[in-house]
Chains A and B, each alone.
Chain A
Amino acid sequence: MTDPYKVLNIAPTASDDEVKHAYRELARKYHPDNYHDNPLADLAQEKMKEINEAYEQIQKQRKAGAAYTASSSAQSYSYGDAAYSNASANPVMQRVRMAINNGDISMAERLLNETQEHDAEWNFLMGVVCSRRGWMDDAKRCLETACRMDPGNVEYRQALQMLQNTASYRPAGYHRGGTMTYDDTCMRLCAGLACYSTTGCPIFCCI
């Protein structure tokens, strides 16, 4: 079994608080919210399992002697893509939902492209397919259309909310905003060596 301290990236001499802090930081990093509709969700889930096991093991070791009760301080998270199992009146859309749930995105896309009528459900499912492929702008466009066509539908609204969820992990000390809210007054990029100017002529830097 791998060293639990190595998994949490701390020294075996770390205090209880440090262990907890390291665990929480990693749990934040691999949180399912960061991997929604992400093809790497299964790998994040594996990481989270490793971290949970390491944390439990350290707790167990530290409480050895005292009666140990399996503490549930390590949280369990649910990963994986949302299930699109709502029944559909349209048999083709039902097949699309099944294809999405089986992870067969190209099949779902083919079925959608063959459909003539683009109703709210079609837009919703197309949005889900786009989101799985990383086509975020098209996904947003389709889900917005679905919500506009059927404003009362909870499933469509939730999918749009999930897409607009901007949760993401950043280590302490990094800003939390996005591109448009970035404070660029303090931004300094590492410039190049500028060994070659744009015309391609070498610049002699150290003569």
Chain B
Amino acid sequence: MFGYVRPAAQHLDEAERQRFRSAYCGLCHTLGRRYGFFARWLLNFDFTLLAVLLSLGTPTTSRCQRCVAHPCRGCDAMNASPALDAAADRSVVLAWWQLQDHIADHGVWKSIPYRLAALLYRGAYRKARALVPDFDAAVQRHLRELDERERARCASLDAAAEPFAALLSEIASAEPDETRRRIFAQLFYHLGRWIYLIDAADDFKADAKSGNYNPLRCRYEIEGDTLPDEVKSALGETLDASIRQMAGAYALLNAGEWTAVLDSIFYDSLYGIGKAVLSGVYRKQKRRIRRTKEEPI
């Protein structure tokens, strides 16, 4: 479900791209340091954004660090910080429960890869659960709720997106300051809503084939495996509403050195990613970027 949110490169110079890259590498190193090598595979862009947002207000430093992917040259990675730790702990807990979900959803044979992965992450999860017990309980509660709504074939986009949005919103509780907690709660809620709806649009074809629940099919009563144009524009409108809520919350934060990176996310790339997903070019684009290394960060 994760990995959609990335800055738009056209608004950033090399130094700013490097800054985002250092947060990405910093989170990877934090996952590795706290939870062992395999936890690095849980790294994704959305949690990088969460780490950046949680770190606002405290100056961040970075240094060149080597890793398996960059054994010789190393790369610039953000130094350990409470924000990176918070993001790492929460991504391990969330990944674990999503894995459990996959195990429950698949048959005995098809669930074998997930069971093996669960074996790999058991230790990491136990450690993370001890560090953030409240978040662990909240994730279980919200994912259970999500499962119930999906089983009931919920026909409201908002009701279907609520559990996932509320789950991301829980991450705000890592913030000690009351005002900032309110801002983060609102920002993360709409980030969760946006991710859930984008994911539903992205998976629409696959869900049509497999017969899995898809909130867009139930809300707009769509037959067939493509999204009609009028559904795309209605969905675009409701995605825009969430982006505006995120931008409104973000404007109340002092982004400091992260202003250019975060501006490009909240004022540009979220719209662009939405457009790419709705017009069906997102996955292709991702592959093209990876193959040609067009814009490596």
User: Which of A's residues lie within 8 Å of B, judged by CB?
Assistant: 29-30, 34-35, 38-40, 43-44, 47, 130, 133-138, 140, 164, 166, 168-171, 173-175, 177-180, 182, 184, 186-196, 200, 202-207
Contact = CB atoms under 8 A, between A and B. Distances in A.
Instruction: Determine which residue in A171, A186, A193, A204 has the highest number of CB atoms from chain B within 10 A of its CB, and name it.
Output: A193
A189 B295 contact: yes
A13 B152 CA distance: 63
Nearest to B297: A190
Contacts of A43: 179, 182-183, 252
Interface residues on chain B, size class: 35 or more
Contact of A196 (B45, B69, B157, B245): B69
B272 A189 contact: yes
B267 A174 contact: yes
A196 B39 CA distance: 12
Contacts of A173: 11
A134 B249 CA distance: 13
9 contacts: A29-B251, A134-B245, A170-B247, A175-B268, A188-B295, A189-B6, A189-B8, A189-B285, A195-B70
Given A189-B6, A195-B40, 4 more contacts: A179-B236, A189-B269, A196-B69, A205-B70
Contacts of A186: 10
Contacts of B67: 195
B200 to A, nearest CB: 12
Interface stretch (B104-112, B138-146, B274-282): B274-282
Given A179-B239, A191-B296, A192-B24, A44 B69 contact: no
Contact of A204 (B71, B158, B159, B237): B71
Interface in B5-36: 6-12, 17, 20-21, 24-25, 28
Contacts of A189: 6-9, 269, 272-273, 285, 289, 295
A134 B40 CA distance: 34
A43 B249 CA distance: 9
B177 interface: no
A33 B281 CA distance: 33
B248 A207 contact: no
Nearest to B265: A190
Is chain A's interface secondary structure helix, strand, loop, or mixed overall? Answer: loop
Nearest to B252: A43
Nearest to A131: B241
A32 to B, nearest CB: 11
Contact of B71 (A179, A190, A207): A207
B212 interface: no
A171 B41 CA distance: 36
Nearest to A178: B240
Contact of B245 (A38, A166, A170, A202): A38
Contacts of B159: 135, 138
A203 B69 contact: yes
A12 B165 CA distance: 43
B186 interface: yes
A136 B71 CA distance: 48
B130 interface: no
B119 interface: no
